[in-house]
Amino acid sequence: MTPTQAQFQNQAGATSADPQAISLDQLPSGARATVQRLLAGRSLASRLVSLGITPGVELDMVQNYGHGPLIVAVRGTRVAIGRGEAAKILVQRG
Protein backbone atom coordinates (compact mmCIF):
# COMPACT_ATOMS: atom_id res chain seq x y z
CA MET A 1 0.00 0.00 0.00
CA THR A 2 1.41 3.36 -0.99
CA PRO A 3 1.45 6.29 1.45
CA THR A 4 -1.22 7.99 -0.67
CA GLN A 5 -3.54 5.01 -0.34
CA ALA A 6 -2.96 4.89 3.41
CA GLN A 7 -3.70 8.61 3.71
CA PHE A 8 -6.93 8.20 1.73
CA GLN A 9 -8.04 5.34 3.94
CA ASN A 10 -7.31 7.39 7.04
CA GLN A 11 -9.16 10.40 5.63
CA ALA A 12 -12.01 8.18 4.52
CA GLY A 13 -12.41 6.92 8.05
CA ALA A 14 -12.41 3.26 7.03
CA THR A 15 -12.67 1.20 10.18
CA SER A 16 -12.95 -2.45 11.00
CA ALA A 17 -16.73 -1.96 10.80
CA ASP A 18 -16.55 -0.96 7.11
CA PRO A 19 -13.46 -2.57 5.55
CA GLN A 20 -15.29 -3.01 2.23
CA ALA A 21 -16.14 0.69 1.82
CA ILE A 22 -14.99 2.24 -1.45
CA SER A 23 -15.55 5.66 -2.94
CA LEU A 24 -18.47 5.98 -5.35
CA ASP A 25 -16.17 6.83 -8.26
CA GLN A 26 -14.68 3.30 -7.99
CA LEU A 27 -18.06 1.55 -8.38
CA PRO A 28 -18.45 -0.02 -11.84
CA SER A 29 -21.45 0.54 -14.11
CA GLY A 30 -24.35 -1.76 -13.29
CA ALA A 31 -23.33 -2.25 -9.64
CA ARG A 32 -25.56 -1.55 -6.64
CA ALA A 33 -24.26 -0.08 -3.39
CA THR A 34 -25.37 1.44 -0.10
CA VAL A 35 -24.06 4.83 0.95
CA GLN A 36 -22.01 4.47 4.14
CA ARG A 37 -20.61 7.95 4.73
CA LEU A 38 -20.25 11.39 3.16
CA LEU A 39 -16.76 12.89 3.44
CA ALA A 40 -17.93 16.30 2.34
CA GLY A 41 -17.90 19.84 3.62
CA ARG A 42 -21.08 21.62 4.55
CA SER A 43 -22.02 22.90 1.09
CA LEU A 44 -21.34 19.63 -0.75
CA ALA A 45 -23.09 17.60 1.95
CA SER A 46 -26.11 19.89 1.63
CA ARG A 47 -26.14 19.43 -2.14
CA LEU A 48 -25.88 15.64 -1.88
CA VAL A 49 -28.66 15.47 0.70
CA SER A 50 -30.89 17.61 -1.52
CA LEU A 51 -30.27 15.07 -4.32
CA GLY A 52 -31.34 12.24 -2.01
CA ILE A 53 -27.86 10.86 -1.39
CA THR A 54 -27.76 10.18 2.33
CA PRO A 55 -26.11 7.47 4.46
CA GLY A 56 -28.10 4.25 4.25
CA VAL A 57 -29.68 4.88 0.84
CA GLU A 58 -29.20 2.31 -1.93
CA LEU A 59 -28.09 3.47 -5.34
CA ASP A 60 -27.34 1.93 -8.72
CA MET A 61 -24.40 3.01 -10.87
CA VAL A 62 -25.88 3.73 -14.29
CA GLN A 63 -22.77 5.10 -16.00
CA ASN A 64 -19.12 5.19 -14.98
CA TYR A 65 -16.69 5.32 -17.88
CA GLY A 66 -13.66 5.96 -15.67
CA HIS A 67 -13.51 9.67 -16.56
CA GLY A 68 -15.98 12.53 -16.51
CA PRO A 69 -19.23 12.64 -14.54
CA LEU A 70 -21.05 9.60 -13.17
CA ILE A 71 -24.75 8.88 -13.42
CA VAL A 72 -26.38 7.12 -10.48
CA ALA A 73 -29.99 6.11 -9.88
CA VAL A 74 -31.08 7.05 -6.38
CA ARG A 75 -34.64 7.03 -5.00
CA GLY A 76 -36.07 6.54 -8.50
CA THR A 77 -34.16 9.45 -10.06
CA ARG A 78 -31.03 9.57 -12.19
CA VAL A 79 -28.47 12.04 -10.92
CA ALA A 80 -25.22 13.21 -12.53
CA ILE A 81 -22.35 13.62 -10.07
CA GLY A 82 -18.89 14.97 -10.75
CA ARG A 83 -16.00 12.58 -10.24
CA GLY A 84 -14.53 14.75 -7.46
CA GLU A 85 -17.86 14.75 -5.62
CA ALA A 86 -18.22 10.98 -6.07
CA ALA A 87 -14.78 10.45 -4.52
CA LYS A 88 -16.18 11.91 -1.27
CA ILE A 89 -19.04 9.41 -1.03
CA LEU A 90 -18.16 6.10 0.63
CA VAL A 91 -20.31 3.14 -0.37
CA GLN A 92 -20.45 -0.59 0.27
CA ARG A 93 -21.25 -2.89 -2.64
CA GLY A 94 -24.14 -5.24 -2.33
What fold does the segment set 3-93 form as a domain? SH3 type barrels. (2.30.30)
Give domain limits for the chain: 3-93
Dump strand ranges (E) for the chain: 22-23, 32-38, 58-63, 70-74, 77-81, 89-93
Phi-psi domain of 5 (left: phi exceeds 0; alpha: psi -120 through 50; beta: other): alpha
Sign of the alpha-carbon torsion through 27, 32, 33, 39: positive
pLDDT band at residue 18 using 50, 70 and 90 as cut-offs: low
Instruction: Yes or no: say if 22 and 77 are a contact pair by the CB < 8 Å rule.
Output: no
pTM of the predicted model as reported, rounded to 2 decimal places: 0.79
pLDDT tens figures, 28-83? 999 999 999 999 999 999 999 999 999 999 999 999 998 999 999 999 999 999 99
